[in-house]
Amino acid sequence: MRLGRITGILVAVAAAGAAAFAVLAWHPAIAPVAAPPPASPDVIRAGETLAALGYCASCHTAEGGRPYAGGRPIKTSFGTIYATNITPDARTGLGGWSLDAFTRAMRQGIDREGRHLYPAFPYTHYTGLTDGDVAALYAFVMSRMPVEARTPENDLPFPFSVRALMAGWNLLFFREGRFTADPNRDAIWNRGAYLAEALSHCGACHSPRNALGAEVTARAYSGGEADDWWSPALDAGSTAAPPWTEASLTRYLAGWDPEHGGAGGPMAPVVAAHGRVPRAEIAALARYVAGLAPPGQAGRAPVDRPVRVEDASLARGATIYAGACAVCHDSGGWAAGGVPYTAPSLGHRTTITGPDPRNLIHVLREGIAPASHARGPYMPAYGEMLSADQVTDLAAYLRARFSPDGPWPDLRETVHRLMPDAPVGRAGPSTTASAKEPPR
């Protein structure tokens, strides 16, 4: 029968495909070792600096948990992945991992037992690391105190729960290979490029991702997202006002810049980790990142303009700003003697000048907490104080006053989505608001 023959061919093709895929997806386990070889303190120290630049702890540490013991949920658009325990615990961590096993995980995304890791772990970047740096990172993590902490099971629906399918994803989107320097650039730029691309994986958040979660390299650094925060563009699409410079980026990445302020959201632990990093490494990162925007770009100046008070929502927002925000944010900025950790005006903040309102809503809702036992920055949280409609009015006012671009189109829906537990309150003042025009 003809139909039978076609079916037979199809079955044969499918079987051959499955066999080829199995070969592609299968990786052998690497035999466990009793103990890692001893490493010199200098190598361990170098690994500590590299781990800070890769801010490994920010994913591999649960809220309130022991450093590197894993368990932090990483929300992706496919489901929740739990960061693993990378302390050298024999049962629940990297105990028994040889340098070869660690290297394969870092460069190919395959764990010691031969299973595929998900690219939420950015092996797509770490593949660029040098042998020496992988060995130093290995020496550092293996010298941590072992912590017994079982990593929770991932919460991924089928088919994403099938790790072997990552072989196909790798075929489509992953190119293994070491970082290669650009001989036309200086040594500092190349150092920064190596750090940014291979270790600090900046593109993991600052580049857009496609439907299958792979970074769109053609639009690298044009902005992305992390943990439902918007990650600003680092390229020509940056809305920063004034534009970033190598010097201001160095200050920002080291902690605080008078013009642009400090890091918030998922970027805060990145900058916090830089406290252990030599300034020269941060300056190299800054040189590379500053070079992502075309040189001589005119850039934008901070805006502070009058707001139309005939608009009822903007008038309500102006009232809230005057009562809740102005006491700090109209103080002229820390550098000029104003309230500590404030910028000269909110026109300097990408939370307000950016195309996406989510970061502003997160900051208004949660405030900015000081690191434990550290002095500020500290902004009080308004998530318990203002209703979602009041936050909408305030955000609309901030946007109108401090950004040259138009209103955020989906502001109200986004506020309500991000503040489901906000107090209900009334829509806003029913009295005539005395919306003040900002100082010119």
CB nearer to another protein: give 76 or 331. 331
SS3 226: strand
Task: Return the residues of window 91-120 that contact another protein according to CB under 8 A.
Answer: none
Can you give the three-state secondary structure of 149-183, one letter per residue? CCCCCCECCCCCCCHHHHHHHHHHHCCCCCCCCCC
User: What span, in angstroms and rounded, lies between the C-alpha atoms of 88 and 149?
Assistant: 11
Smallest gap from Cβ 148 to another protein, in A, equals: 21
Stretch that binds another protein, among 126-134, 187-195, 237-245, 315-323 (CB under 8 A): 315-323
CB nearer to another protein: give 164 or 381. 381
**Contact residues for 377 (Cβ-Cβ < 8 A; gap 6+):** 256, 261, 262, 340, 341, 368, 370
User: What span, in angstroms and rounded, lies between the C-alpha atoms of 297 and 274?
Assistant: 28
CB nearer to another protein: give 165 or 328. 328
Both structure tokens of 30: 């690497």
Closest CA to 323 of 182, 163, 187, 434: 434
Does residue 425 belong to the site contacting another protein (CB under 8 A)? Answer: yes
Smallest gap from Cβ 339 to another protein, in A, equals: 7
Bridge partners for 82 per DSSP? 73
Closest CA to 147 of 69, 72, 257: 69
Smallest gap from Cβ 429 to another protein, in A, equals: 3
User: What span, in angstroms and rounded, lies between the C-alpha atoms of 399 and 280?
Assistant: 36
Q: Which of 42, 176, 186, 384 binds another protein (CB under 8 A)?
A: 384
Task: Give the CA distances from residue 304 to residues 120, 324, 352, in Å, rounded to whole numbers and listed in that order.
Answer: 39, 18, 12
CB nearer to another protein: give 284 or 419. 419
Judge contact between 222 and 243, C-beta under 8 A.
no
Does residue 306 belong to the site contacting another protein (CB under 8 A)? Answer: no
Both structure tokens of 379: 């902004």
Strands 79-82 and 224-226: unpaired
Stretch that binds another protein, among 10-18, 68-76, 84-92, 418-426 (CB under 8 A): 418-426
DSSP state of 369: P
Task: Return the residues of window 6-25 that contact another protein according to CB under 8 A.
Answer: none
Does residue 312 belong to the site contacting another protein (CB under 8 A)? Answer: no
Q: Which of 117, 156, 312, 324 binds another protein (CB under 8 A)?
A: 324
CB nearer to another protein: give 142 or 320. 320
CB nearer to another protein: give 370 or 404. 370
Task: Return the residues of window 340-379 that contact another protein according to CB under 8 A.
Answer: 378-379
Bridge partners for 230 per DSSP? 225
Closest CA to 272 of 251, 248, 254, 289: 254
Both structure tokens of 292: 């992502």
Smallest gap from Cβ 116 to another protein, in A, equals: 37
Does residue 40 belong to the site contacting another protein (CB under 8 A)? Answer: no
Count of residues that bind another protein according to CB under 8 A: 28
Does residue 437 belong to the site contacting another protein (CB under 8 A)? Answer: no
CB nearer to another protein: give 102 or 402. 402
Does residue 430 belong to the site contacting another protein (CB under 8 A)? Answer: yes
Residue 287 phi/psi, 5-degree rounding, is -60, -45
Does residue 320 belong to the site contacting another protein (CB under 8 A)? Answer: yes
Smallest gap from Cβ 382 to another protein, in A, equals: 8
User: What span, in angstroms and rounded, lies between the C-alpha atoms of 395 and 380?
Assistant: 16
Both structure tokens of 236: 């020509």
Does residue 415 belong to the site contacting another protein (CB under 8 A)? Answer: no
Smallest gap from Cβ 379 to another protein, in A, equals: 8
Q: Which of 41, 177, 431, 439 binds another protein (CB under 8 A)?
A: 431
Find the helix or strand (DSSP H, E) in which 326 lies.
Answer: helix 326-329
Smallest gap from Cβ 67 to another protein, in A, equals: 19
Smallest gap from Cβ 323 to another protein, in A, equals: 3
CB nearer to another protein: give 74 or 328. 328
* Residues in the chain, total: 440
Judge contact between 93 and 124, C-beta under 8 A.
no
Q: Which of 16, 279, 434, 437 binds another protein (CB under 8 A)?
A: 434
- Kindly list the residues in this chain that would bind another protein in the complex (CB under 8 A): 316, 319-320, 322-324, 327-328, 339, 378-380, 384-387, 390, 423-426, 428-434
